[in-house]
Structure 1
Amino acid sequence: MSDKPVDKMSFEEAMAALEAVVGQLERGDVPLEESIKLYERGAELKKRCEAKLKEAEEKVAAITLGEDGQPTGTKPVEGL
Structure 2
Amino acid sequence: MDRRIFTPIARESYKWAKECRHRAAVERVNSRLDVSFGFERHTVRGLGKMRLRCGLALCVMLAMALGRGREKRQERMRSLVRSVS
- The two structures have a TM-score, normalised by structure 2, of 0.35
- The two structures have a TM-score, normalised by structure 1, of 0.37
